[in-house]
Structure formats: C-alpha cells, structure tokens
Amino acid sequence: MTDQIYDAIVVGSGVTGGLAAKELTERGLSVLMIERGRDQKHGDYPTEHMPVSDFKFRLMGDRRNDSHDQAAGKNEGSARYFAPRSDHPFTVAEGTRFSWIRAATLGGKSLTWGRQSYRMAPINFEENGADGHGVDWPLRYADLAPWYDHVEQIVGISGEAERNPLAPDGIFQPPMPMNAYEREFKARVGKAFPDRTVSMARTANLTRELGDRQPCHYCGPCERGCSAGAYFSTQSSTLPAAQRTGRLTVMTDSLVARVLTDDDGRRATGVEIIDTRTRQKKVAHARMVFLCASTLESVRLLMLSRNQAHPDGLGNRHDVLGRYIMDHQFSEPVMAMLPANGIANYGGYRPCALFMPRYVNASGQKEAYLRGFQLNAVITPTNWSRALVMPGMGIGADLKKQLKATGPWMLLLIAQCETLPRWDNRVTLDPTVKDPWGLPVLHMNVTWGDNDTLMREKAAESLADMLTRAGYQGAMRLPMESVPGAVIHEMGGAVMGNDPKTSVLDKHNRLHDIPNLFVTDGASMPSSAHVNPSLTFMALTARAAAFAADIIRGGGFGSGPFKAGAL
Amino acid sequence: MSLVLSPLRRREMLAALGLLGLGGAVGPERLLAAARGDAAAAADVLTAAEQAQVAAMAEGIIPATDTPGAIGAGVPAFVAMMVRDWLLPDEQVAFRRGLGEWQAEAQARYGKAFEDCRAQDQFALLTLWDKAASGAPLGGPKPPFAMFKALTIIGYYTSPTGQEQELGATMDAGLDDPKGPATFINLLQF
C-alpha cells in the first residue's frame, strides 16, 4: 500500500470524513479514508430494537464497571459506539474542567449524533467582524448557501420552512407532526410573543424515502443505530455512495499519528499511521490530505505533525493553532407539568423536539450580552417512571392502577447558547502525558467567559418568563451544570480567516501555509453561532471538496515539487 | 443510599433532554449483552431468607391483580441481581441493614417474619415504611426503602411482563396511533 499515491487521504469517517470521501470519489478522485475506530457495518446494530427487558441493567447501565464518560446519546444500548475514556486520555488546566467525547467505530459520532440540522443565519457569519470577537469569517451566508442546499439533499432533513431570518429555510422533507400539547404551546407562544416562532425541529430523520433509506418508523432510540437508514449516518448515506464509485479504500483500526510534509514544509505528502491492533507503523501517500478527525483531534494532529519546517505544529507560525476553542452551553432547563386531562395519548417516539429560532439581539443589540441562543422544547407525557420521582403515589394495587393510567405531561425548555471565540481558550500538547500509543495528549484550558456565563443565566430567565407569560403555571428551573465539551459541539482551534497571521485556514479550509492540507471539521469554525453545527461542518466540507477536486483534476497538487502556479 | 432517587430524578429529566438530541448524560453505563439468566446466580449477596423477604415485600408493592405482580414478573431475582451487580458496596450494606430492620419490625409487631405475615399486615408495614421514606427531606440521604421501592418498580415495569402484559409496550409504535400509556415507555428511554 505504501506504493500507491491516492488523490486524497481523508482522516476520519464521521459526518465530515464520510462526506469528504463521497464528494471526492464522486468527482473521480481515489480516496483513502482512515478511521481510528473499529469497523462497523451498516445494519449490524445488535441492540437496535432490543426491548428494555433484554438489557441487564434495564438501560440504567453498568455503573460499577463503566469505562466511558457520560455523554449525550450514550447509554446501555449505545455505549459500544463510544470510545472508552482510556482510549483518549487528556489533561486539563488546574481549576478547569472539560468533557471530551469520542467515537469508537467507523462512522464516528454520526451513529450517535443528535441529528438536529440548522443553517447558520447570515448574522452568524457577520458578528465576529461586527463586534470584534474572534476572527472574521472569510465567508458570508451567500457563499455557503448553495452548499447547504447540496448537503441537505444528501443528508435528508425533515422540517418546516418558517421564513425567519435567524433560521434560514433549507430543502426539507415534510416535518414530523406535533402532538396536541405541542400545538397548544405553539398557539400560546404565538399569541403572547408574535416575534417568536415555534417550529418542529429540523432533524436528519427522514419522513420520506431517500434512495434506499426508509422513512422513520418512530421506534425511539436512534443512538443504537438504524438499519432502515432513517437517520443520516456515514453508514446509511455517504459511505455506500463513496463505495459505489469503486474509488474508495477504507482503513479501520488505524490511527493517524502525523501528517507528513515535504522537506520545506510547503506540501503535505501523506500520513503516518499506527495500526491500533498490531502497533505497527506504516505510511500512506496522497496528493492532498483532508483532516476530518473531529475538532480537537484534527487540532491535535496538526500539533503532533510538528517538524523542522513547522516546529510548533503545522499551520502554527503565528500561535493561532489550538486557540478559540468553543462549545455551546445549555441553559438550565425550565420545566412545567401539564395535566393529562383531555389530551389524547399517542404512540411512537418522535426522534426530535420542537425548536425556536433565536429571538434575542435579533435586530440590533438589545441585551446585556452579545449574540444569542435558540431553544428546544420537549412536551411529552410522563410514563410509569414518574413513580420514582413523584411523592405520595403509595403502594399496592392502587399504585399499579395509577401507573397504568395516563400521567401528567412534562413541558421542558432549554436554550442552546452561542459562546464567544476567545484567544485564551486553548488546547496544547501536554509536555509529559502520553496516550496508549505514545503520542502526547491534549491539555485543555477552556473556560466560559463573562458573556457566556451571563447569556446562559439570562437565557434561563427568559425561558421561565416565556412560560409564565404564555400562561403556564409553576415553571421550575432545574439546576444543571455546564462543562465545556459536554454538549459535544466543540469547535475552533484551527479557525478559518482571510489573514494568515490571525487564522490557520483560508476560505477554502486549507492551511494558509500548506495549500494541499485541508481541515473541514468543526476545528475550522471561527465562531460557534447559535445553531447545532454539524450541517455547517458538512457544507464547509462539500465546498472545500469541490474546490480541491477541481485542483486535482486540473493537474495540481502533483507529486513533484509543489508549484504555486498549479493552483 | 442517596444515589438512587437523585439519579433517577436526574435521569427522567435528562432522558427528556435526550429527546432534544442534545443533553442526555444518564450515568455510567456500559453495554453488557447476555443479560438474561444472570439473576439466577445472584444468591451470593442476599441470603435465601433475605430473598424470601424481598419477594414478599416486592409483591406487596406491586401485587398480582388482573395481571401478574412482582413475583410473577421476576422482580425478586432482578432486585437480587441489582444488589449484587449494580449497587456500590456501601449501598449493599445499607440495603441489607434495611432488610434486617424491616424484618425486626415485622417480628416486633406481628411476631412473624415479614413474608409470613398476613397480607393486610404486610400492607400496613409497607405503607408505614413508604410514608416514612417519601417524607424524607429532598436532597438528603434517601432511606433504604426508597431504593427498595425504586428497584421493585423498575424491575416490574421494565420486565417482559410489565412491558407486554401490564403496559402493552411495543418497539414499533407508529405516530398518531393511540395505544394508551404503555407506548410511553420509550419516551423516557426505559
């Protein structure tokens, strides 16, 4: 294999790696996709429709022998898709905390992601430049809009068009239906707040067939895998597409230890790989390299690839690599209980909640904090497990009767808050601690800034106020801490920008210093925006892949000495 | 002991967050296949006498009606397994201390082991303990009975009997197909 020169190496196989492989192979390029985790076949999801009674701990997990960190989507039915914490050690600066969640298999986190898919709004591309925080985006909404169009048709997103400038519409399949209490919530909020939109979440779950993928059958636990392909994952979508071209090579159980460059450090030539089963090292060569290894791993890889020409890491001549690390923050949830009276039960388990586009600082700066949040609303009946939390239900036949009857419903709001890009929020290589393969681990020094903390507090206040003014009684705030990384929307570290002195990547997601080395995952994001970010990662990936494929097809990135003129 | 009700409360909330496709950290968990059959080997933590007491108490909390009760649903073996494999060592100690105290109270009041008491006496004892446990201050340590009741309820409603016979739950329910509260089961990821 060391003899072959691929057109491209793609490191990682999650939402961006899988898409890069698809886009590049469909444009005629040969691609080697390298995945650190083990192989995972589509349809081989042994817990997929397992009833709760088949799980030893009834989905409460093996709390005495757990080898994972807590994570969204991780439970007794899906833990197999998450990497045990011993696989990816890291250190944190004193007095700080960080949660780093990584995947264990081919497909990466695309198997277990939350699936909500929103376009960033035009304002999200402009606020860095306008308020001076972080690096100005080298793109505007209009630059990315056609790539959102492109990606949405691949992913398959159900949702509702709303003509809201802070939640640009996309190409949607029909939205999933609302239940009775959700329709009432929409009506009440619409009356009390004419400027606030309640809409069905835009989610990468199908309501119509898409190719050989089936519409959602509402079974519930998406994170265990879906053999019907009803939600977007690498396995359901991009991997089979790339494989159909006959130009994709997939290598699993293979950890990329560094990106190799030519002697003067101006061109990537390939990667060094460690076979995680045999610990043997090997090398693969390509005309270009796409890092889609997940935000922090891509950043780490650039750092681990330091060489004589780039002593501080690739793309780090100006000390920008590893900076501007962001995640989203969830506000504290606000909850109200609703009586069961008169509301019909329903069957099935819809894989998404409601969402409300950002409504703060929507037309000019009005709040005490910069930027904003969007929110989700869950309105759902309680089940028998309410007996564990509601006092006074007693015991015996009467308890059994109560639990068989329809219980009260729960209305829960939670805001997803943008966090500002901050120079001091950074990751570096730990000088002493190594991972199981002998590579330096990341040292996280990430905290919430004043604006982040203020917005999170004000968001919860706003949600409680909204419930009250919409006529819901007894709104309660539920205490919840907020640890960086825990939302698993980590972004930044190799940010895009126009100025090579203040950014790592150019507007095509490639290193200013090394034009055939691309980073198209969350590491490239100059700001976090208020929306779930995966769709934007994918739009950036598709855009960069098309740009890169044109260069390769035009004869650029050749194996000889790099010629700037070829670009 | 405080571990039981507070994580469960948290789980209910966070499982709802899981619906959002965002939060959902539920607690330390790891997949173990081949779950069935393990409970039979659980006798190494609880003695035979303790298991008889557990069975009688669990049946008192969830009795047989027109559907099977806790014993018919296999709850005693589930509780024994959870005591062995899920409770932390200090929780195991507290759980067994609780069993001993309840047994002593049954002896003191009725001169018999709990499992030998008349049904109405068992009901009176369980009601007494349930009220005491649910009256415990929020946020403080939970009495062992709260854990016992929680394990019983979880064991029952997540068992094949509880899911299929009592609740009629299915994994393939479709939207807008009213089937009663049974189909809520998956909503909270149980």
Segment A468-496 shows an average pLDDT of 95
A412 and A339 both lie in a single domain:
yes
Is residue B169 domain-resident?
Answer: no
Looking at chain A from residue 384 to 403, which residues have their Cβ under 8 Å from any Cβ of chain B? 384-389, 391-392, 394-397, 399-400, 403
A296 and A438 both lie in a single domain:
yes
pLDDT in tens, A41-62: 999 999 998 988 999 999 888 8
Q: Helix, strand or coil for residue A511?
A: strand
For residue A560, which amino acid is it?
Answer: G
Is residue B54 domain-resident?
Answer: yes
A281 and A300 both lie in a single domain:
yes
A439 and A499 both lie in a single domain:
yes
- Which DSSP string do the residues of A275-291 spell out, in sequence order? ETTT--EEEEEEEEEEE
A411 and A279 both lie in a single domain:
no
Segment A402-429 shows an average pLDDT of 94
CATH of the domain at A537: 3.50.50.60
A219 and chain B in contact, CB less than 8 A: yes
A401 and A548 both lie in a single domain:
no
Is residue B171 domain-resident?
Answer: no
Contact B16 A380 (CB under 8 A): yes
Is residue B90 domain-resident?
Answer: yes
Q: Calculate the CA dihedral of residues A119, A120, A123, A129 and round it to 10 degrees.
A: -150
User: pTM, whole model, 2 decimals?
Assistant: 0.91
pLDDT band at B184 (very low <50, low <70, confident <90, very high): very low
A255 and A312 both lie in a single domain:
yes
pLDDT, position A567: 34
Q: Helix, strand or coil for residue A268?
A: strand
Distance between CA atoms of residues A148 and A201, nearest Å? 17
Chain A residues lying within 8 Å of B184, measured CB to CB: 345, 380-384, 407
Is residue B164 domain-resident?
Answer: no
A149 and A11 both lie in a single domain:
yes
Count of structural domains, chain A: 2
Nearest to A396 among B26, B82, B123 (CB): B123
Is residue B78 domain-resident?
Answer: yes
Q: Which two tokens stand for residue A187?
A: 């009506």
A437 and A391 both lie in a single domain:
no
pLDDT in tens, B17-32: 443 333 322 222 222 2
A128 and A241 both lie in a single domain:
yes
Give the DSSP letter of residue A445.
Answer: E
- Output phi, psi for A168, to 5 deg: -55, 140
- Which DSSP string do the residues of A418-476 spell out, in sequence order? -----TT-EEEEEEEEE-TTSPEEEEEE----HHHHHHHHHHHHHHHHHHHHTT----E
Nearest to A381 among B127, B187, B189 (CB): B187
A323 and A339 both lie in a single domain:
no
Is residue B96 domain-resident?
Answer: yes
Is residue B135 domain-resident?
Answer: yes
Count Cβ atoms within 10 A of the Cβ of residue A116 and give its class: 0-12 exposed, 13-18 middle, 19 or more buried: buried
Q: Is the pLDDT of residue A495 over 70?
A: yes
Strands A440-445 vs A426-434: parallel, antiparallel or unpaired: antiparallel
- Classify the C-alpha dihedral A293-A295-A298-A300 as positive or negative: negative
Segment A171-185 shows an average pLDDT of 92
Residue A254: which domain range? 1-158+234-328+423-447+490-559
Is residue A188 domain-resident?
Answer: yes
pLDDT band at B142 (very low <50, low <70, confident <90, very high): confident
Distance between CA atoms of residues A409 and A422, nearest Å? 41
Q: From B35, which residue of chain A is nearest by alpha-carbon distance?
A: A56
Count of structural domains, chain B: 1
Contact B173 A57 (CB under 8 A): no
Q: Which two tokens stand for residue A195?
A: 């400027």
Segment B120-125 shows an average pLDDT of 98
A413 and A435 both lie in a single domain:
no
Is residue A314 domain-resident?
Answer: yes
Distance between CA atoms of residues A510 and A531, nearest Å? 24
Is residue A73 domain-resident?
Answer: yes
Residue B128: which domain range? 41-61+68-157
Distance between CA atoms of residues A537 and A539, nearest Å? 6
Q: Which two tokens stand for residue A191?
A: 């009356």
Distance from CA of A368 to the nearest CA of B (A): 26
Percent of chain B with pLDDT over 70: 64
Q: Which two tokens stand for residue A468?
A: 């009250």
Is residue A101 domain-resident?
Answer: yes
